[in-house]
């Protein structure tokens, strides 16, 4: 699911600004963006984030800033500055002409001005980073939870539709044997074979067909899967992977019913069921 969070935390040594955003992904993936000097902290930050998340691609962007007055200063290399001035004086004497020295000459010269790149220790930086990361992730998760409520309603509605289709299949299934018997009788008549329906060979064929197209076990398992689906929807635990597994099992049962019962009307019910199931599977990919 998608979400976004932003947070800051500061100590007396360093301040951290964190932004966390997530997009849909079947597996959990954490991407951490840190200043180069603090790359060693990435593994610990990722581990902390995975304690809160199990699915989705989450990007965590971290910016660090030293308190005012620490770092960011410019130091003057007085020795190099004097050496440049002396060199210009000597050049003027050599060419017997005054060569004027400007401020830009000092700025262009290497190492006359040096930046103070003082940094906080990684352990000190982590004291600011972790609280900000956790706060940003909590905000992101809250946004994802809001989206999850909408997904919950949509998935529950589609499960109800699958239950309705399953009930229609259950009601219609006994007529499959009847239709087969009628079709068999019609084919025999077309072929000019005067065989009564109570003939042992016909009864055996009808019996074998009835056994092959019996879908009572599949219907029972479907109902069990629907019940389990609703149990998961009623919990507050991460349910994305269990629901994904149940979708696979539902698909398996519907496929089996479709292959067992060679009937056009039943096949249409299966098509309708798999259409709804595919929509559920798409939504489940977004569920934590």
Tens-digit pLDDT profile for the chain (288 aa)? 678 999 999 988 889 999 999 887 667 788 999 988 889 999 999 988 888 887 778 999 999 988 765 555 667 788 888 888 898 888 888 888 888 888 888 777 777 776 555 577 888 899 999 999 999 999 998 887 777 777 888 888 999 999 999 999 888 877 766 655 556 555 655 555 555 556 565 656 655 555 566 778 888 999 999 999 999 888 877 777 888 899 999 999 999 888 877 778 888 999 999 999 998 888 887 666
- Burial (CB count within 10 angstroms: exposed 0-12, middle 13-18, buried 19+), residue 234: exposed
- Distance between CA 33 and CA 64 in Å, rounded? 11
Tokens of 116: 């103070």
Output the pLDDT for position 213.
67
Q: Domain extents for the chain?
A: 3-68+123-142, 74-115, 148-284
pLDDT score, position 129: 93
The one-character DSSP state at 114 is E
pLDDT at 33: 92
Residue written as token pair 């919950």: 152
The predicted structure's pLDDT at residue 265: 85
Give the model's pLDDT for residue 209: 55
Closest CA to 262 of 214, 221, 218: 214
pLDDT score recorded for residue 132 = 94
Q: 86, exposed or middle or buried, with CB in 10 Å at 0-12, 13-18, 19+?
A: exposed
- How much is the pLDDT for 167? 92
Q: Residue 191: what pLDDT?
A: 54
- What is the CATH architecture of 3-68+123-142? 2-Layer Sandwich (3.30)
Nearest to 22 by CA among 63, 52, 60: 60
Q: Is 14 left (phi over 0), alpha (psi -120 to 50) or beta?
A: beta
Q: In whole angstroms, give the CA distance from residue 254 to residue 110.
A: 75
Whether residue 30 contacts residue 40, with contact meaning beta carbons closer than 8 Å, is answered with no
Under 8 Å between Cβ of 3 and 121: no
Residue 212's pLDDT is what?
Answer: 64
What's the rounded Cα separation, in Å, for the pair 37 and 120? Answer: 10
């Amino acid at each position: 699911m998608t979400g976004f969070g932003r947070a800051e935390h500061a100590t007396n040594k360093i301040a951290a600004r964190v932004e966390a955003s997530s997009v849909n992904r079947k597996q959990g993936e954490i991407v951490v963006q840190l200043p180069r000097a603090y790359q060693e902290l990435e593994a610990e930050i990722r581990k902390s984030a995975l304690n809160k998340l199990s699915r989705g691609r989450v990007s965590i962007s971290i910016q660090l800033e030293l308190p005012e007055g620490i770092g960011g200063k410019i130091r003057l290399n007085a020795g190099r500055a004097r050496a440049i001035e002396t060199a210009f004086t000597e050049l003027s004497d050599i060419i017997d002409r005054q060569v004027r020295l400007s401020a830009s000459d000092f700025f262009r010269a290497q190492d006359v001005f040096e930046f103070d790149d003082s940094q906080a220790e990684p352990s000190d930086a982590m004291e600011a980073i972790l609280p900000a990361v956790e706060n940003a992730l909590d905000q992101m998760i809250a946004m994802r939870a809001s989206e999850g409520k909408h997904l919950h309603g949509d998935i529950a509605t589609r499960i109800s539709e699958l239950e309705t289709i399953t009930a229609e299949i259950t009601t219609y299934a006994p007529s499959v044997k009847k239709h087969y018997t009628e079709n068999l009788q019609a084919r025999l008549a077309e072929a000019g074979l005067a065989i009564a329906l109570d003939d042992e060979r016909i009864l055996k064929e009808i019996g074998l067909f009835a056994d092959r197209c019996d879908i009572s076990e599949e219907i029972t398992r479907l109902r069990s899967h629907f019940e389990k689906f609703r149990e998961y929807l009623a919990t507050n635990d991460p349910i994305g992977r269990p629901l994904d597994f149940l979708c696979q099992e539902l698909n398996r049962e519907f496929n089996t019913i479709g292959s067992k019962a060679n009937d056009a009307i039943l096949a249409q019910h299966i098509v309708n069921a798999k259409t709804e199931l595919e929509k559920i599977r798409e939504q489940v990919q977004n569920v934590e």
